[in-house]
Amino acid sequence: MRYCWSCKRLTVGKPLFCNHCGKSYDVKYCPRLHENPRGAQACSQCGSRDLSLPQRHVPWWRKVTIMLFNLSGVTLLILTVLYGVYMGFQVLSDPYGLLRPMLLGLLLALLWLLYVIV
């Protein structure tokens, strides 16, 4: 699966071009599909000047930041499921001692709010 940074969509498999916007991934291709670097003005094998448009360049640190942001969302989701199980157990075992679990739920809700805002 490949992610296009230009149109922000996923394409299944290992395609040379984005199925949605038609841009190539990090390289330029000539009509004969020879691979060329992003900065090429002409094909290095056949000399064609008709090269594809690559997707916009995204620095590596930006990709890492987005990956960590998505990972934190998955972590929050797992914590929310675990909290639901814990809260259900607390309600069944000690319905009068719910203050601490409710405060934990409030903290979890604030973390979700921060995640959604940022």
Domain count across the chain: 2
**Rounded average pLDDT over 85-107:** 94
| 84 or 5, greater pLDDT | 84
Q: 10 Å Cβ neighbour count for 37?
A: 10
- pTM, two decimals, is 0.56
Which residue range forms the structural domain that includes residue 88? 60-117
Could you tell me the two tokens for 37? Answer: 């670097």
| pLDDT tens readout for residues 35-84 | 999 999 999 999 999 999 999 888 889 888 888 888 888 999 999 999 99
Question: Which of 57, 79, 101 delimits the end of a domain?
Answer: 57
For residues 117 and 29, what is the distance between their CA atoms, to the nearest angstrom? Answer: 39
Are residues 72 and 24 both part of a single domain? no
Phi, psi of 89 (to 5 degrees): -65, -40
Contacts of 1 (CB under 8 A, 6+ apart): 10, 11, 12, 13
Are residues 26 and 49 both part of a single domain? yes
Q: What is the per-residue DSSP string for 24-90?
A: BSSSEE-TT--EE-TT-SS-TTT-----PPBPPP--HHHHHHHHHHHHHHHHHHHHHHHHHHHHHHH
Checking if the pLDDT of 101 tops 90, the result is yes
